[in-house]
């Protein structure tokens, strides 16, 4: 039976970032992906925002890996010509009573190591974003956007250049412990079984990371939380320059329906948050357009209902259930040589290079 040193399950931004960080010509590394190609899971359905890190509790992995990942990602993008833009972001208080929450977020960002954010007044907002209506805002100059597909291609190429191998159309269906190793059973597109053994397993299976962890004795349960998006048409390009977010809900299930830009300057609203039972239900109801219009109009007064159209969606792998408090990323060696990454929702993209370093430190 074939034997490898390390198996990474899942070729999304997390598995690929880890592969890029740990691959070396003297190690045999398999990256297994059930889909026909890499990067077709959660990583292909998100806002592509490089977050600052002001939302997450001090001391959490989400906070530290986001703040470090932000800097690392700009550096990687600049050095490797990965399309990105430092847009900046405003979290806006549309009512005076929301200003207190902005101050709390500002202070929280400071505790997480953010030094660049500031609270700006209505007058200052009018100067930099004349088409945004708000009483005050938390300004984050270090928030930006990145092409996640270019980033994933960069990570994959780096890993392959160091002799890692990617095997697509290969779904992990069973894992058995054997002395000092794990036996991994996979199905290919024709449901043929292939088995091999691996000294180390890294579970980066996104929406199925709980299932994979539980194959090796774990006890995880992910909730699926859908985020719908709406596209905008008929809005003047450049009418808003920065990403505009409302003050988030207290339980932080999501960040509230916000305005983001892509690298072509197109605007998007969303994502919202709806817990769902099925993992791969990406339909967006047409009535979402009206809901999003009413939410966003509070801070984007130029919007008209006919500008907003239902668009794509993504699904978050959440450890936090609908009525639960904050849950952190799980990045843990639950059994010897078996590292689980579970609940890697936002800011997973931002944190990806820092997560990769964190996992490397667990290995070597
Ligand atoms: C709506 C939404 C918006 C977001 N916006 C942002 C943002 O703006 N900024 C940010 O930093 N983060 C954001 N995120 C979070 C970010 O997208 C995720 O944290 C990140 O993409 C997770 O990557 P992953 O590699 O863990 O998962 P995935 O990309 O899903 O990769 C996991 C891979 O594992 C494969 N797989 C699963 N099971 C098996 C199996 N049994 N065998 C083999 N392969 C398997 C899957 O096919 C998949 O390709 C957002 C997430 C969502 C849902």
Ligand 1 centroid vs 13 CA: distance in angstroms?
A: 7
Query: Which residue segments constitute the domains of the chain, with CATH numbers given?
Result: 3-45+149-222+326-363 (3.50.50.60), 89-141+223-318 (3.30.9.10)
Ligand 1 atom having least distance to the Cα of 207: 30
pLDDT averaged over every residue in the chain: 96
Among protein residues, the one with the nearest Cα to ligand 1's atom 42 is: 171
355 lines ligand 1 (CB under 6 A): no
Cβ of residue 270 lying under 6 Å from some atom of ligand 1: no
Q: Is the pLDDT of residue 36 over 90?
A: yes
Which residue lies with its CA nearest to atom 35 of ligand 1? 10
Other residues' Cβ atoms within 10 Å of the Cβ of residue 197: 16
Determine contact, residues 55/248, Cβ cutoff 8 Å.
yes
Q: For a ligand 1 pocket test, name from 13, 38, 41 the mutation site with the most ligand atoms within 8 angstroms of its C-beta.
A: 41
Q: What is the pLDDT of residue 127?
A: 98
Residue 16 Cβ contacting ligand 1 at under 6 Å: no
pLDDT at 29 over 70: yes
Cα 291 to ligand 1 centroid, rounded to whole Å: 26
Q: pLDDT digit string (tens) for 67-101?
A: 999 999 999 999 999 999 999 999 999 999 999 99
Q: Is the CB of 313 under 6 A from ligand 1?
A: no
pLDDT band at residue 354 using 50, 70 and 90 as cut-offs: very high
- pLDDT interval class at 251 (50, 70, 90): low
* CA pair distance 355, 152, nearest whole angstrom: 14
Q: Please work out whether the CB of residue 11 comes within 6 Å of at least one atom of ligand 1.
A: yes
Q: For the chain, what percent of residues have pLDDT higher than 70?
A: 99
Query: Would the pLDDT of 297 be above 90?
Result: yes
Q: How is 110-160 classified by DSSP, letter by letter? A: HHTT--S-EEEEHHHHHHH-TT---SEEEEETT-EEE-HHHHHHHHHHHHH
H helices present in the chain, as ranges: 13-22, 61-79, 99-111, 122-128, 148-161, 209-215, 288-296, 348-363
pTM of the model: 0.98
What spatial distance separates the first Cα and last Cα of the chain, rounded to whole Å?
Answer: 26
Residue located nearest, by CA, to atom 31 of ligand 1: 12
């Amino acid at each position: 039976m074939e034997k490898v040193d390390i198996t990474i399950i899942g070729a999304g931004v997390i598995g690929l970032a880890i592969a890029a960080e740990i691959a070396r010509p003297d190690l045999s590394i398999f990256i297994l992906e059930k889909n026909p190609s890499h990067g077709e899971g959660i990583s292909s359905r998100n806002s592509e925002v490089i977050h600052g890190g002001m939302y997450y509790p001090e001391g959490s992995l989400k906070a530290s890996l986001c703040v470090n990942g932000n800097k690392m990602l700009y550096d990687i993008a600049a050095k490797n010509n990965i399309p990105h833009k430092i847009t900046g972001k405003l979290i806006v208080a549309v009512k005076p009573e929301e200003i207190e929450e902005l101050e709390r977020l500002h202070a929280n960002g400071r505790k997480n190591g953010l030094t660049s954010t500031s609270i700006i007044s209505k007058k200052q907002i009018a100067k930099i974003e004349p088409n945004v209506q708000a009483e005050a805002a938390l300004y984050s100059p270090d928030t930006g956007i990145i092409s996640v597909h270019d980033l994933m291609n960069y990570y994959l190429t780096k890993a392959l250049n160091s002799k890692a191998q990617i095997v697509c159309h290969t779904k992990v269906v069973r894992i058995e412990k054997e002395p000092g190793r794990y036996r991994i059973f996979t199905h290919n597109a024709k449901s043929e079984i292939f088995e091999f053994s691996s000294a180390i397993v890294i579970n980066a299976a996104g929406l199925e990371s709980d299932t994979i962890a539980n194959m090796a004795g774990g006890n995880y349960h992910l909730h699926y939380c859908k985020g719908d998006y709406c596209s905008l048409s008929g809005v003047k390009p450049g009418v808003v320059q920065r990403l505009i977010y409302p003050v988030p809900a207290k339980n932080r299930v999501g960040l509230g329906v916000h305005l983001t830009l892509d690298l072509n300057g197109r605007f998007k609203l969303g994502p919202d948050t709806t817990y769902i039972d099925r993992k791969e239900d990406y339909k967006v109801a047409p009535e979402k357009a009206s809901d999003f219009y009413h939410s966003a109009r509070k801070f984007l007064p130029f919007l008209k209902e006919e500008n907003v159209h239902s668009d794509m969606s993504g699904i978050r792998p959440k450890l936090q259930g609908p009525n639960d408090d904050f849950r952190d990323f799980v990045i843990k060696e639950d059994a010897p040589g078996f590292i689980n990454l579970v609940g890697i929702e936002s800011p997973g993209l931002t944190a990806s290079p820092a997560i990769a370093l964190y996992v490397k430190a667990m290995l070597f």
